[in-house]
Structure 1
């Protein structure tokens, strides 16, 4: 083992590749904090997280002022202990998005460092269940996209071998969503998954109405139908819906997932490594879901999640949304609609440090520790 001696932190603000709209918001930017941790033997691990346009400076401030000073001098391999100590150091602000996103930056860097020192890829170090996973696409299903374009994109994804496509729902009238889904289903046939995402946009009575309609079109899951903090309403919907309910991107602790699983309020877990606080708690949630015989299909972060879905036996599918192309030299390895987990030691993300330097937000770069 070796102590952490230096931390280098910055944030880039990435413009989404396409217009992204859903039932409650539009993505305008993607703030991406990036951290490099160096140990006493010179090994380096890189971690990151993200926001969808707000809160990035708060994440940077929490890292600089509170978390990173507590990481310097710690043994890099003591990942569980570091995560737990940092959580309790921020006890007054946990559980919540800002704290979890900041914890994830540190935790992913520590896992990258662990894997690099061991000479092993993340998917193997975290469990090694399988080398590749099926992929579904979201980029062609945003709420503003017209029906003809939805159909064309779904057909293109099917031709490319993807397992399915996800379509945003929450148009003003149920009939509008129904017509869009019917057109896509008629085009792709029954042997192609169509998933839907309401982004917490419904009340319970609406979700019950939409669930009946979704079942008529053979929809694979009903994602975030209701506000994420209403576990009871999700449990009621799950009891009455013929379509599986999927949740997770707006949950920020393993205990929150536990409440959903114990109450049988969801059938698909979409735990996000950034929003849960890193790889360490992500794996706990995945194994908790496994104990309940429930699949894991994480939200976003495909460049990191490909390795985690491959690591666990109940990892089902990977969401395809390119996130880091502007600041990386590597791309997702897609073969016949399946994504292969990176074989290189570490997270398997090749960072383009020149591009990162050019896009670093003014005032967001800080160094802590030896040589700072």
Structure 2
């Protein structure tokens, strides 16, 4: 909660700070990485830094949090914070690193805004940063405790037990403990981080959804090869070098896009590689004998590009009240629609809970259609691979 003294200062300076956030965050990352190059080498995603997506996500989260404090001073945007906390925990972020961020972020603010950053302004924005940081530290501490690990100690070495070429640019990997120990429990829809050592010595990290149900002796991730360097450096490495018997660093599972308990109707809508968390959810529903109504929507470029296509069909067919609706950009497929996915063409049951995963334009379009159809915003959940550029707008 902002103090009475800070509230008018933040309100008055939010337009200036918000308008300069892109430049502020650019200078912030440049300064922090100059002082701590190991953070870029071994923690932050170099691909997202190169494209600017991480900078945009940070700016969006700061602006959204500050706006939320002003609009609802007695509440916290916990949905947004939970999403960030799960991502941070999957990377092994520690509380000490928030002090490093504070130092370089406020140096960047002063660098960009100059004399406008009076002691009163600096103090007011401290009241934005530290409540957000402390809330995240507390949430991440709870996540570490729930996983039974010390702060930041999320990593384990797992062995690749199986490799399967799903499409020309998508490979699934089965993972197990080299010593046969059971794997950590997880909830359908969660993800793990995978860390690989690249030729330049960097240990880069990417997140991948667990694409099969909990309770199996092995985990499975499905990796689509991304184009470009550094954007695709981890997926390309796994495609080129990940072989049965090799070992990789893998975090314990995290993620807040998980199936709810109960028997209410579900909509699982995905596009491209966004199908992976939905596969785990469907697999779990089938293995537990669920009879709840499940409407599955998937969009892809073509049947050949659709990873796990036949598996998706089998999983939906195994559900007593499961229905599958496919859309492909390539026309002429007998069992699918052509063009973009259109949930308005479907009969959606009342009271459904929707889960979305895929490219941001796909999720925006589906969410908009669902809201127009009367689905409550609180009942539409989503997962984003990479920085969440939707923070504060869809939660």
- The alignment's TM-score, normalised by the length of structure 1, stands at 0.29
Larger Rg: 2
